[in-house]
Amino acid sequence: MQRLHLVFGGELVTPSKNQFRNVDDIHIVGIFPDYASAFDAWKEWAQKTVDNAHMRYYIAHLHRLRDEEAAASPTEELT
């Protein structure tokens, strides 16, 4: 089974919340066929923007949109 993942990021209003400052400026890194390649892309962009505390990159588990029976990962449970 293919497990697609989306890597995206952008500038947040405040580092303590997951609200983007401008949705039109969200950077779509790409869609990846597995978690490992998505993680590598996420890590690359997270490291490129490490000096900006307002920048955040995320991995979205697109395959879970197709399979609503799949349990949430621990990162999805974070507030």
The 3-class SS string of the chain reads: CCCCEEEEEEEECCCCCCCECCHHHCEEEEEECCHHHHHHHHHHHHHHCCCCCCEEEEEEECHHHHCCCCCCCHHHHCC
pLDDT tier, 65 (very low <50, low <70, confident <90, very high otherwise): confident
pTM, to two decimals: 0.78
Task: For each of the domains in the chain, give its residue range(s) and CATH number, in order of start.
Answer: 5-77 (3.30.70.2400)
Question: Residue 31 has what pLDDT?
Answer: 96
Asked if pLDDT for residue 66 goes beyond 50, the answer is: yes
pLDDT tier, 76 (very low <50, low <70, confident <90, very high otherwise): low
What average pLDDT is seen over the chain? 86
Q: Is 29 in contact with 7 (CB distance < 8 Å)? A: yes
